[in-house]
Amino acid sequence: MSFSLYAATIPTFCQILEAVAALLDKGAAHCAAKGIAPADLIRARLAPDMFDFAYQVKSTAVHSLGAIEGVRRGLFSPDLEPPPEDFPGLRARVTGALTGLRAIAAEEVDGFIGRDMRFEFRDLRVDFTAENFLLSFTQPNFFFHATTAYDILRWQGVAIGKRDFIGRLRGNYASGQPGAAAGSPAT
């Protein structure tokens, strides 16, 4: 079996981003049902030295589509722009990443293998191959931020569970569309 960088990245990015979009909807519904100001949930953080919910959600887009765009350029630097400040803006950021990821051809991503890539942030410079950047830097960051966003909602009392984080399973009923699974169990 040959290795496909596309198969190792894009479908999983899409699966979890779809779940993050659904978490945003559940967070907004929770605020409406409980009379909570959405900004209070969006600014919530797990610890004083951690970034807030909005930043965690933004970072799922940064460490998925943003990472692919970085590989295309051969350079990835963190997006220092402030995150959207409301649920519609956060959802637009996530759905924009999903749209961009779904438009990427497998051949393009598989063609990244062996390509030189650099991560730069302030004085830090780390050189990678594209596949090592995506698999050892980007994916762990992507999952960290998705998990932290989930954890913040859970900590704030939003009724979510593990299936909400995992999202739609691809299983044997996958439709071929990254992140889509016709007939998969509901989340």
118 - beta bridge partners?
75, 127
pLDDT, tens digit, 9 for 90 and up, residues 54-84: 999 999 999 999 999 999 999 999 999 999 9
* Residue keyed to tokens 């596949």: 131
Q: Which of 13, 49, 3 is nearest to 142 (CA)?
A: 13
pLDDT, tens digit, 9 for 90 and up, residues 88-104: 999 999 999 999 999 99
Q: What is the pTM of this model?
A: 0.90
Residue 45 Cα distances to 57, 73, 146, 179, angstroms: 12, 32, 13, 28
Sequence-ordered list of residues with C-beta below 8 angstroms from that of 179, at least 6 positions apart, any chain: 11, 13, 14, 15, 17, 18, 98, 101, 102, 167, 168
Between the two ends of the chain, the Cα-to-Cα distance in Å is: 31
Confidence (pLDDT) at 27: 98
Q: Supply φ then ψ for residue 60, to 5 degrees.
A: -65, -35
Domains in the chain, please, with CATH?
Answer: 9-170 (1.20.120.450)
Confidence (pLDDT) at 170: 85
11 CA to centre of own chain? 11
Confidence (pLDDT) at 2: 85
Confidence (pLDDT) at 182: 40
For 154, half-sphere exposure in the C-beta direction (CA atoms, 13 angstrom radius) is 13
- For the chain, 187 residues long, the average pLDDT of each consecutive 10-residue run is 91 98 98 98 97 99 98 96 97 98 98 98 97 98 99 98 94 55 39
